[in-house]
Amino acid sequence: MPNSSTARIGFWIRLDAGLLCMLATWTIVIKYLNPLCMMWAEIRQTGTGGGPHIMWDFWWIPHLMLAWMLWQGRRYAWEFGILVSIVEIIIIFTKFSLFFSNPDMPRSMAPSVLDKFFTNTWFLNKCFVLAFFLMLLVQLLCPGYRKFLRTSSISSPPERSS
């Protein structure tokens, strides 16, 4: 029977894995499916389409890899989690510094019809990603996480005491 510390770490690892899957899904929907649907709607409405405005982004792959590694308690999950967290935090701080020096920066990446929508979703996404990876980094640096990930597989639900 796991002690309360182990159960708590297991809960947070499962939550982190789920949030990483949600983050990967959000990326795929916003950057791939949404532009394809907008192109399809434009073709249906006007009979012509300018092609999808896909923003090629493959961060969803390491996010899903990390989610799987955390969920399975893989050997290098802790190291990979630290690496992905630090790289994401550096990238987001860089993007925020560019954004605050030129707030029109994200709009220049989007078609004019999406200016405000894209800026808002871009900013909210970056805030969520930054908050998540700061939280994950702090969790992974807490005592017990590294050992837990090296010795546990949390793919099955925790045992319940009666």
pTM score above 0.95: no
Q: Is 12 part of any domain?
A: yes
Only one residue has tokens 């939550």, namely 15
User: Residue 15: what pLDDT?
Assistant: 95
Q: How many domains does the chain have?
A: 1
Q: Is 112 part of any domain?
A: yes
Domain that residue 136 falls in: 4-32+58-151
User: Residue 153: what pLDDT?
Assistant: 58
Q: What is the mean pLDDT of each run of 10 residues along the chain (162 residues)?
A: 78 95 91 82 80 81 96 90 97 89 65 61 86 96 87 56 50
Only one residue has tokens 């791939």, namely 32
User: Residue 1: what pLDDT?
Assistant: 47
Question: Letter for the amino acid at 36?
Answer: L
Closest to 75 in 3D by CA, of 129, 1, 134, 149: 149
Query: What does the alpha-carbon distance between residue 77 and residue 68 come to, in Å, rounded to a whole number?
Result: 9
Tokens (6 digits) for 8: 């708590």
